Homo-oligomer: A and B are copies of this chain.
Amino acid sequence: MIMTLQDVWNEYKQDMEKMEQSIFENLGSDVPLIQQVGKYILNAGGKRFRPMLLLLSARLCGYQGNGSDYLLGSVVEFIHTASLLHDDVVDEAKLRRGQSSANSLWGSQASILVGDYLYSKALSHAVGLKNQRVMDTLAETTTTMSEGEVLQLMQIQNVDLTESDYYRLVESKTGVLIIASCKLGAIISNAPATREEALAEYGRKLGLAFQITDDTLDYTADQKQLGKALGKDLAEGKVTLPFINLISKVTPLERDKLKEILEADTITDDHLAYTFELMGTYGAVDEALETAQTFSREAARALEVFPDSHARQSLLALAEYVVQRER
Contacts and interface: CB of A to CB of B under 8 A. Distances in A.
Given A34-B147, A119-B146, 16 more contacts: A31-B154, A32-B154, A33-B150, A34-B150, A90-B112, A90-B113, A109-B153, A110-B150, A110-B153, A112-B112, A117-B147, A117-B149, A117-B150, A119-B119, A123-B139, A124-B139
A114 B149 CA distance: 9
Contact of A146 (B116, B130, B150, B151): B116
Contacts of A120: 119, 139, 142-143, 145-146
A109 to B, nearest CB: 5
Nearest to A85: B112
Contacts of A90: 108-109, 112-113
Contacts of A132: 127, 130
9 contacts: A31-B147, A33-B153, A86-B112, A86-B116, A89-B112, A110-B150, A113-B149, A119-B119, A123-B143
Interface in A97-126: 108-110, 112-114, 116-117, 119-121, 123-124, 126
Nearest to A30: B147
Interface in A17-47: 29, 31-34
Contacts of A142: 116, 119-120, 123-124
Interface of A: 29, 31-34, 86, 89-90, 108-110, 112-114, 116-117, 119-121, 123-124, 126-127, 130, 132, 135-136, 139-140, 142-143, 145-147, 149-151, 153-154
A124 B151 CA distance: 19
A156 to B, nearest CB: 9
A154 B114 CA distance: 12
A245 to B, nearest CB: 26
